[in-house]
Chain A
């Protein structure tokens, strides 16, 4: 109990400090960041109060770590907003703040309406068809943004179906694998995953494909306790990667850029090179919030927000973010460890590994550790659909943690 309070106060302090700093960066004293700060703190305090009051058994650290990550994201987005032309209101930060609020509301709603976890394990075919429909939808009505045809645009609202499909795939896999697994079930899940990943590769959403694959392997491993499947899966991965390298041009380009981005620094490799410049200029302690040039990175509020953080907060700040994610993933898997039934356990493992893989693929990508694939950093990157999905998953995870 005491520790949670301390962490909560720590979060208030960090939030206060960051937003206070933000109100100075434009050269004159700005009041909007303080409004942001106050509303964030009130929101966090209030939601925390509700959780403690009505759902005290769950793992509050899950919620606390996520809100801190969200605050870091909003601060960074605000900071990048100040560089837009004729800056008056922080357009994206305001939207992100709204999404954060809606996300927390969604989290509460999930806690409120979700029945006993075991009951939602019955509808595996609904989950399967729903996620396949989502994935397929972009092939027909999708729009190509940032080189991947994985967006659906409705009016002024655009979202990535693969983000939401991720969640349903976890539900499907958990339901399919949580009972006595027959050969038929196994083959069924393999076919389903092959289809989903196939769609993603066709839509050039390689990052999501990688994450789906990772989630599947881990859930399969936990469900069957059979390391043979992991080995087989990795073999299949190598084979598939090899084939798609020769089959698809966009896969080949990604790999080429990864191997030598400097050769393409003005065209195909522009993004990754700019991202590396940002990280390089950050150094150990970073330039300091508002003192670097993170707005020079393309897509700085989305896919490359980690590079922006690394530039202004340095290696230390970037490592802190990574460690926050590590703690979050750890708390998620710890939930799985103590959960009562196999279905909940698998869902918890699925959600945790989804977060972990996503973080690894994004951060590894923007630092050129692995080939770049455009996906968002959970809780931090700008984006409504990813924010909602993350809070949805978090709500389910919290619900599971209650059951221990």
Chain B
């Protein structure tokens, strides 16, 4: 009898342990697993919760609506395709991308940034008296009209463009052609995702790789200025082509530039000269210089809340024979870049060697119009010393005044620029590149444009850039 009682006590202890183990497990689950699974797409709560919150509006820098929720609760995008890649889409079926995705918590009012006691009290009032809550609105650094204009200027071409404020790092435009129309996402999602040529969901301005072509000569020129003694007195004789063991590097249309110095070679974009300089410098020096220009490094569009990765430009390859190094110094071979990284490179030249951290979130305002947060601009890196930057700036002005970019010259505004033609696949038209900043003497904006298969001589990219700059300064 005594033994049996002891055993019943043991059973009690056993069940106590069983039940406590459940509680322990639940604590563990809440601490370590819950956060990870909470926002899984198969959790219908995510959608249910959002249904009860009126999503904030996305404004451009001048107060134009890029995305807003109408009275029926539908999300509207007045600029359709042209800002589709920036705003991203918001779909109950397919999720969220772009600003809608990255800043989701702010748009739903979940980010706790109560700088102002009034905001807090107002929110408390809403929490008590109203089921429908309001999210916060976002003001972007984007100039919607400018972006719309650039997008439409692409016409039927594919490509991408970035326009930055040189002094602050604000992204004024970030175009990727073609983009999706976020109004029609539920209808056209399949078509968009199956479009492997246009790739409307890929932000080609920051997430695609293109060979930079002659635009890269800015890097090579900077390397030459910094590393070759007496570069001002250097001259080269260009006879239109350069012979290697089994390959030949030709200038554009085989043009012979004759006796030429670095400045003029930059102006006319002489491949022969830059290939020779590249060989003089060698792989390591070129790579080091490229890395100063933020190649091979992790870059982000960054503010306090999000980090949007930029596919950083690459100068890093295994095949290092003479021909490869020669053509890498004119931005071919394995050199890769995209409009954002090239715009940052242009900023470095324009801004005396200093690159500002690019950002897209200007400010956050609550639904009463109170400012809750404003991004402050930050320095990202010091790329060049002032003298080198000034020299290259001078070359780029010369390129506009009497070189390959002379078509962009106009009476209203002085522009500094560099053209680029990037060979890609055999038998296809080369990509046409153009980078520029304006006004040349006191730069405010930097632009980088690529038109896929836009042809040699960067004609199309030049036209788009010109339009962009003139539109910006005519506002």
Contacts and interface: CB of A to CB of B under 8 A. Distances in A.
Q: Are A and B bound to each other? A: yes
Interface of A: 27, 218, 221-222, 225, 262, 265-266, 273-274, 276-281, 283-284, 293, 296, 310, 315, 318-319, 322-323, 325-326, 329-330, 333-334, 336-337, 342, 345, 349, 352-353, 356, 359-360, 363-364, 367, 369
Contacts of A353: 11, 15
B437 to A, nearest CB: 50
A218 B44 CA distance: 42
B124 interface: no
B22 A349 contact: no
Interface in B10-37: 11-12, 15-16, 18-19, 21-23, 25-27, 29-30, 33-35, 37
Contacts of B48: 293, 296
B9 A283 contact: no
Given A277-B38, A280-B38, A222 B4 contact: yes
Contact of B11 (A274, A277, A349): A349
Chain B interface extent, by class: 20 to 34
Contact of B30 (A222, A280, A323, A325): A280
Nearest to A359: B19
Contacts of B9: 337
A277 B30 contact: no
A273 B42 contact: yes
Q: Lowest 6 CB-CB distances: which A-B pairs, in order?
A: A280-B34, A277-B43, A326-B19, A356-B15, A369-B25, A225-B3
B19 A283 contact: no
B5 A337 contact: yes
B23 A322 contact: yes
6 contacts: A221-B11, A222-B7, A266-B42, A277-B40, A330-B16, A367-B25
Contacts of A293: 44-45, 48-49
A367 B24 CA distance: 12
Contact of B12 (A225, A319, A330): A330
Contacts of A333: 8, 11-12, 15
A356 B18 contact: yes
A128 to B, nearest CB: 24
B29 A280 contact: yes
Contact of B4 (A266, A274, A322, A345): A345
A315 B15 CA distance: 20
Contacts of A281: 34, 38, 43, 45
Contacts of B30: 279-280, 283-284, 315
B4 A310 contact: no
Nearest to B19: A326
A322 B40 contact: no
A123 B49 CA distance: 58
A296 B45 contact: yes
Contacts of A274: 43-44
Contact of B22 (A265, A277, A284, A364): A364
A349 B16 CA distance: 15
Contacts of B22: 322, 360, 363-364, 367, 369
A48 B244 CA distance: 103
B105 to A, nearest CB: 16
A203 B146 CA distance: 69
Contact of B19 (A222, A325, A336, A345): A325
Contacts of A359: 19
Given A364-B25, A369-B25, 6 more contacts: A277-B37, A277-B45, A279-B26, A284-B30, A319-B26, A330-B16
A326 B15 contact: yes
Contacts of B3: 225
A225 B10 CA distance: 11
A329 B12 CA distance: 8
Nearest to A284: B30
Contacts of B35: 280
Contacts of B4: 222, 225, 342, 345
A349 B43 contact: no
Contacts of B131: 27
B26 A265 contact: no
Nearest to A330: B12
A315 B19 contact: no
Between B9, B43, B49, the greatest number of chain A beta carbons within 10 A of the residue's beta carbon is seen for B43
B66 to A, nearest CB: 31
Contact of B37 (A225, A280, A342, A356): A280
A367 B18 contact: no
B425 to A, nearest CB: 40
A23 to B, nearest CB: 17
Contacts of B8: 222, 333, 336-337, 345, 349
Nearest to B49: A293
B48 to A, nearest CB: 5
A363 B19 CA distance: 9
B393 to A, nearest CB: 55
A353 B18 CA distance: 12
Nearest to A363: B22
A293 to B, nearest CB: 5
Given A326-B16, A333-B11, A333-B12, A310 B5 contact: no
Between B5, B11, B37, B131, the greatest number of chain A beta carbons within 10 A of the residue's beta carbon is seen for B11
Contacts of A284: 30
B11 A276 contact: no
Contacts of B18: 356, 360
Contacts of A279: 26, 29-30, 34
A364 B23 CA distance: 10
Contact of B29 (A218, A325, A356, A367): A367
B162 to A, nearest CB: 38
A335 to B, nearest CB: 10
Nearest to B6: A225
Contacts of A27: 131
Nearest to B30: A315
Interface in B216-233: none
A314 to B, nearest CB: 9
Contacts of A369: 21-22, 25
A279 B38 CA distance: 9
Contacts of B12: 329-330, 333-334
A310 B38 contact: no
Contacts of A352: 15
Nearest to A291: B131
A277 B36 CA distance: 10
A266 B30 CA distance: 23
Interface in B33-81: 33-35, 37-38, 40, 42-45, 48-49
A359 B20 CA distance: 12
A342 B7 CA distance: 13
Contact of A360 (B7, B19, B45, B49): B19
A270 to B, nearest CB: 8
Contacts of B33: 276, 280
A332 B15 CA distance: 12
Nearest to B48: A293
A360 to B, nearest CB: 5
B449 to A, nearest CB: 44
B49 to A, nearest CB: 8
